[in-house]
Amino acid sequence: MFRKMPFILITIIAVVIFLDPFMPFELKQALYAISLSIKGVIVVLLPLIIFGLLFKAAVILSNKATKIIAMILVLACCSNFISTFLSHYVGIWVYNFDLSMISPHEASALTPLWLLTFPKLVENYIAMLAGIVLGIIASTFFPIPAHKIAMKLDRWIHLLLKGFVYLIPVFVAGFIVKLEFDGAVGTIVKDYSTIFAVIAFAQFGYIMLAYFVLNNGNVKAFANSIKNMFPAAISGFSTMSSAASMPLTIIGAENNAKNKDLVCSVIPATVNIHLIGDCFAIPILAYAVLKSFGMAEPTLLNYLIFSLYFVIAKFSVAAIPGGGILVMLPILEAYLGFNVEMMSLITALYVLFDPVITCANVLGNGAFAKLMDRCNS
């Protein structure tokens, strides 16, 4: 199902739009209520998910605390931050596009049939810090039990996230009903096809420039590097999983590197944390969504704070389709002011564009491996 998710979403959107005139008002309210309920459950459980994934990452990386691993972490964070920060300027440009504003009908807004409220157990930034600190402490003083706990947490969290992925079509369907009721679906189709093109150009333009610089401006070497990574990129596009594409990524990166043993360590360590595709796609989509809903453009300070949490949250991204956006929803809500409709929209847009995003992630990981090879040659 995961590989077919974009096609499933496209089908659901088409079916909802087609059946909308025939849907009873109470059914529309119920679908919207289900979407809000799913969002509430995700928000409640996300701190636990973030804690578990960061705890596992801290335990595993602490067990391999070498100079190379430290360099990988520092450079991966720097790379993610640079690409996220650069996307701010693309986002500003997108924000100035003539996007149609999405606004509900004031007189007859669609209200959910029920509204469940969930208590906020813990803030996400506390879960992030706790996962990292406790993971390091546990792996230092109790390495064997810590590793067992980390593996159990990882299994439970992946089962939970896979369950969320199965709920995404229902989550999106309720929101599409709301948008169709508000007359905003046509606006999305018209505006966001252009946004997708801008994101793809920004992602691959940045990655191609990185390969060109890493090959010292040698056009032949640059073309050869891209050729070696092309099978992995196609695999990422078709599977929507950087982890599933990892064997091909390693082969391509090895062919581009002098120190092949180093590449074999770099790719597995960064496959789920170094995500250039996400670093461009999510912020640019966020700017487009903010403009579409008539929200103010973030200040540079707000965006810097958002970027820092965004980079930290990359360590808690699960290797499943849609995993990149799920853990970012609370950060978008807290630091960019997203409401439930905006979070639902960016989730749908992200999943629809996920094949291209994953393709960029895979190519970006190949470039990062080449950077590490250059730094250690």
> What is each CA distance from 253 to 205, 212, 231, 294, 377, in whole angstroms?
19, 15, 11, 44, 15
**Pair 165, 73: CB distance under 8 Å:** no
The pLDDT score that the predictor gives to residue 374 is 85
Q: Please tell me the predicted confidence (pLDDT) of residue 125.
A: 65
Mean pLDDT of the chain: 82
Burial 303-318, CB ≥16 within 10 A → b, else e: bebbbbbbbbbbbbbb
Structure tokens belonging to residue 171: 């989550």
- Round to whole Å and give the CA distance between 291 and 92: 10
For residue 278, give both structure tokens: 């996400």
Per-residue pLDDT, 186:
66
Give CA–CA dist 44/371, Å, rounded: 39
Domain CATH code at residue 228: 1.10.3860
Of 104, 102, 139, 116, the C-alpha closest to 44 is 116
Cβ proximity of 232 and 366 under 8 Å:
yes
Cα distance between residue 266 and residue 69, in whole Å? 8
pLDDT at 107 over 90: no
Tokens standing for residue 224:
């050869």
Instruction: Give the pLDDT score at 63.
Output: 57
d(CA 350, CA 354): 6
**What's residue 282's pLDDT?**
94
**Taking 90 as the threshold, does the pLDDT of residue 326 lie above it?**
no
Greater confidence (51 vs 198) lies with: 198
Q: Kindly tell me if the per-residue pLDDT of 20 is higher than 90.
A: no
The string of DSSP codes covering 252-265 is: HHHHT-S-HHHHHH
Q: Which domain holds residue 81?
A: 2-375
Q: What is the pLDDT of residue 358?
A: 87
The mean pLDDT value for 203-221 works out to: 93
Which among 139, 207, 148, 134 has a CA at the least distance from the CA of 361? 207
Measured torsion, CA atoms of residues 337, 341, 344, 347, in degrees rounded to the nearest 10: -50
* Separation of alpha carbons 101 and 285, rounded Å: 15
- Is residue 201's pLDDT more than 50? yes
**Distance, CA of 288 to CA of 282 (rounded, Å):** 10
- pLDDT tens per residue, range 25-76: 899 889 888 888 887 787 778 788 778 877 877 787 665 545 666 787 888 8
Other CB atoms closer than 10 Å to residue 335's CB: what's the count?
19
Residue with tokens 């390969």: 211
For tokens 């209520």, what's the residue?
A: 33
Specify the number of domains making up the chain: 1
Give residue 65's pLDDT.
Answer: 46
Q: In the chain, count H helices and then E strands.
A: 14, 0
CA-to-CA dists, residue 242 to 102, 106, 322, angstroms: 34, 43, 12
Cβ within 8 Å of residue 361, ≥6 positions away: 236, 242, 274, 275, 276, 277, 278
Considering the entire predicted model, what is its pTM? 0.73
Cβ atoms of 53 and 319 within 8 Å: the answer is: no
pLDDT of residue 104: 45
Exposure of 21 in the CB half-sphere (CA atoms within 13 A)? 1
- Could you give phi then psi for residue 298, rounded to 5 degrees? -65, 145
Alpha carbon dihedral 327, 332, 338, 342, in 10-degree steps, equals -50
What is the pLDDT, as a whole number, of residue 274? 87
For the ranges 3-7, 161-165, 200-204, 368-372, the maximum mean pLDDT occurs at: 200-204
Find the DSSP H helices in 67-123: 67-95
- Among residues 353, 373, 326, the alpha carbon closest in space to that of 203 is found at 353
Q: pLDDT class for 80, splitting at 50, 70, 90? A: very high
Among 231-245, 266-280, 338-352, 362-376, name the one with the lowest average pLDDT. Answer: 231-245
| Distance of alpha carbon 238 from alpha carbon 221, whole angstroms | 26
Q: What share of the chain is helix, strand, coil (3-state, %, to 5)?
A: 80, 0, 20
